[in-house]
Structures are given as C-alpha cells and as structure tokens.
Amino acid sequence: MRSTVTMLAMGILAATSGCAETVTGELLLRDGSGPAEVIAPSECLSGEDLLLFGVDMFDEDEDWMIRFFHDPLEGPVVQVFPPSDEAPHLFTPDVCTEFRGELRRREVQDEDRGEYGVMYGSLRLQCEALGTTLEGKLDFEDCDE
C-alpha cells in the first residue's frame, strides 16, 4: 500500500483582493449496482465552520459531495455523499492501494473581509471498501467558508 498524507496549517499572509475557489479533476465511483459514477466537483468549501481541518467539494450537476479531512484520531478520511439519502461511502488509507492527500491552510487578506483562512491541496486515490471502489484525482484551491 502506498500512502502519503501531508496536513499542514500554514500561517502565510498573502495580500489579495479575494479568492476564487477552483476544483479540477474527477473521481470514479463503482459500487456494483450499476454503471460507474463520474464525480467532478466544481466548488469547494473549507471545513472550518464544521470544526474540521478539511474541505467539502461539490458536484453541482449531480449533487454529489466529497469530504476530505483529517480526523485527529483516525487520520485522513474521504467520505463520498451520494445525491440520495444513502449513507456516505467511507475511505481511509488502510483500504487503499494509493492514498495521497495534501491539505493545507493559508491566511489571506481582503479589503472587505479582512484576514481569513483558505484551504488548498490535492487528493489521489485508488481504494476499495465494502465492494465499492473509488479512484481518481482532485486538486482544490482557495476553498473558504
């Protein structure tokens, strides 16, 4: 199993007039009940409001949500929330042949908002848990509250 996770809180103050969130890449989810789902998030939010060191990434077209965060007891976690009321799929490094994740936080300054934090990083996965596979890569930047 190849697993690399970097979780850093950075106190770099950057002068900016605002940040535009960016999410690129896609994940492929197969659960054996039908065709594979392509999840391509286009928006992200920092998990700070939920007291999580992580991000929520949203696929606007299909209402999928990917949550990538660092659990203080369990370590890195990826949850995939389907558009239905089904329970989320849960992936941790121990069920993955590849789990490379990076979560970083930086402080930015905005004339209107003042100083606030944004999350950025990447996620590379090849996982299988309870008959469900998840693979692909995502890069995210400037995810704020």
Residue 110, judged by CB atoms within 10 A of its CB (0-12, 13-18, 19+), counts as middle
pLDDT 10s digits, 4-62: 544 433 333 333 334 578 999 999 999 887 889 999 999 999 988 888 899 999 988 76
How many whole angstroms separate alpha carbon 116 and alpha carbon 28?
Answer: 33
46-62 pLDDT, tens per residue?
988 888 899 999 988 76
> What is the reported pTM?
0.82
C-alpha dist (Å) from residue 81 to 13, 67, 109, 117? 33, 8, 32, 25
Q: Using CA atoms, how far apart are residues 101 and 76, in angstroms rounded to an integer?
A: 8
Handedness of CA 107, 110, 116, 117 (dihedral sign): negative
Sequence ranges of the domains in the chain: 37-143
